[in-house]
Structure 1
């Protein structure tokens, strides 16, 4: 069978087959799903994207060794904290990592994670960079968080496949990372409305979030924060 025949057959099978859907309790691995129209459904899941800011400029203007170390240390910090907050890492895409949270406190878990990533980048990663490299380069990042109904399906070819996450949160969390890195954390109103005081207020009980209209997406109400949460 030719490549063209393979593609035609896959399209016919996919568009012509009903989906098998089951409720999810934990974030699945790719091996938990079939390559056919098989999906795991979550009534609500929260997606966190952590994205290294200005990475194109970084790799175009700095030594590759330096760029590699920035990539590695940023992604390690973000990934370690995602796991520490009961999230599951579901993909790496160059300079970004995507985590999924499905616990009952998922919105608070994801936001707490984001605030600690902000602290880690500015106080641990940046500090170690300055010990080993000269120059005034500042590691900057943007985190986007949204929550919605989500379904996971397996895509790709046999021997080379992964999960795709189907739902607004997966797309919108990623789009939020295109906003200003001057505010490291961006969340939708859906996330904000589910936050408890520790994720909303600072030690003086002042709100750490600023409200915006997201002009790039239907003037949706979103929130940003420059706040970080210290941890050791």
Structure 2
């Protein structure tokens, strides 16, 4: 079959096939490539290194790689420690999904801990070795929650999971906002997280703002490791 004929046939099959969707209680590791999916109530976290284009344009490849590796290592270890499941690495960012009754609290604490790691581990480690460098690691974590449809995408032998739902898209978009406030969360996350990640003493750690017609919250606080 010619390539064009194969593409036409597969696209037609995708659009006309009925979906087989089941509810999931855990983050799925695999889902078939047909129109099958798993629905989960999940909280999505994106951690994104800020200014990576300038980083690679103005520094050596090995220096940029050390920044990537340091940031993503810290983020991944914190995500795992807080019960999150890492679902993807994409260059200078990482995606994770949290499920369960404490998914919002755990995801938010993860974001605050990643901020701590950058400010108190990554940047000091950088300055210890590169004493004359003016580069400062900055990043943003975006967090949102909703019902997600998880399905397989790609081709046999080269495929991955696609996470369909507002939370996946908006968490990624929030992670691309200004790093002045390194953690940003949706109102749905804010309203359903425990006070331990909402207040520092009597002070609310979060400032509300309107973004894309939604209320979201931003914070410059961190959670010590």
Per the normalisation by structure 1, the TM-score is 0.95
**Residue-by-residue CA offset, 1:47-93 (whole Å, 9 max, x unaligned):** 00000000000000011111000000101111111111111010111
Aligned to 1:38: 36
1:196 deviates by 1.0
Aligned to 1:151: 149
Q: Secondary structure at the match of 1:28?
A: coil
1:205 deviates by 1.8
CA distance in 1, matches of 2:43, 2:188: 10
Aligned to 2:138: 140
Q: Is the contact made by 1:142 and 1:179 (CA closer than 8 Å) also made in structure 2?
A: yes
Show the 5 A alignment for 1:19-98: 19-30=19-30, 33-42=31-40, 44-98=41-95
Q: 1:181 aligns with which of 146, 155, 179?
A: 179
Aligned to 1:12: 12
1:133 deviates by 1.1
Gaps of 5+ in 2: none
CA distance in 1, matches of 2:128, 2:3: 53
CA distance in 1, matches of 2:6, 2:179: 44
Q: 1:160 aligns with which of 143, 158, 161?
A: 158
Per the normalisation by structure 2, the TM-score is 0.98
Gaps of 5+ in 1: none
Aligned to 2:115: 118
Aligned-residue Cα RMSD (Å) equals 0.8
Pair 1:100-2:94 in alignment = no
Size of the alignment, in residue pairs? 224
1:14 deviates by 0.7
CA distance in 2, matches of 1:127, 1:88: 28
Q: Secondary structure at the match of 1:130?
A: helix
**Residue-by-residue CA offset, 1:132-169 (whole Å, 9 max, x unaligned):** 11312110001100000101000001100000001110
1:40 deviates by 0.5
